Amino acid sequence: MDTQLTGRTALVTGASRGIGLAIVTALAAEGVRVVAAARTITPELKETGAITVPVDLATPDGPAHLVDQALAELGGDLDLLVNNVGGGDDGSETVPGFLGFADGDWQSLFDVNFFAAVRTTRAALPGLLRSRGVIVNISSNSARMPHAGPVPYTTAKAALTAFGKALAEEFGPQGVRVNTVSPGAVRTALWEAPDGYGAGLAKAFGVSQEELLAALPQQTGMTTGRLIEPAEVAALVTYLASPLAASVNGADLVIDGGAIKTV
């Protein structure tokens, strides 16, 4: 299938691993000139051939600096912004409930999962309006099931999903399409790293991480019986970025193996 993306430009955040790395790889394969941003530039990211920019998007000034550098590197406006940066998987040994999160925890999780997208979008929008471009936000199916993860994380993702809807309504008539992709459990470091969220959850339940991951699809209602691969999410993002999806705007597309049961 010809996605008609050859020669277009993109900025992808949170690109060093997992879903972000898969998105960069997929876009580059379609002939897109990609600027890839991450706090740490991994060897795998360098191998994609993307222009890499190290940046901490949880800081107030990081997003504007990133967009300025991306535009300078590309020599023109962006056609696509993928707000993928997010997380909350950096290594707690326990998984606290609501009362276990202080104000600083809420702020840090909102900074990376919500405000990074707000600030990056604000900086990139003037150029996206000129190019009649596309924004894809990577949220989570836990935005629709706020009990299914750490409450500051799921609440931030719910805010991100609402943010995408609002942007689509305001800027759709001006030619900018905005959509959200909401994955379920994806085979990434969040689940598989020995110091990530999956490891902490396994410890809390008193099982091995291998046992947790084996049981996870069934326990979360994934009718496909397996975790989602990052490349599957990337394929959906690539479609939404392309002219093939010209009439898709304001959508929240869930890719979770059937975990969400409601209409």
Catalytic residues: 153
DSSP assignments along 179-193, one per residue: EEEEE-SBSSHHHHS
What distance lies between CA 203 and its chain's CA centroid?
Answer: 26
E strand or H helix at 144, and its extent?
none
CA separation for the pair 197, 235 (Å, rounded): 25
48-68 CB burial, b ≥16 within 10 A, e <16 = bebbbbebbbbeeebbebbbe
Torsion-angle region of 69 (φ positive above 0: left; ψ -120 to 50: alpha; else: beta): alpha
Q: Please report, to the nearest 10 degrees, the dihedral formed by the alpha carbons of residues 218, 224, 225, 226 taken in order.
A: -110
Alpha helix positions (H), the chain? 18-29, 43-46, 62-74, 103-110, 116-131, 151-171, 189-192, 197-205, 209-219, 230-241
Gap between the Cα atoms of 43 and 52, Å rounded: 11
Lookup: tokens for 108: 């840090």
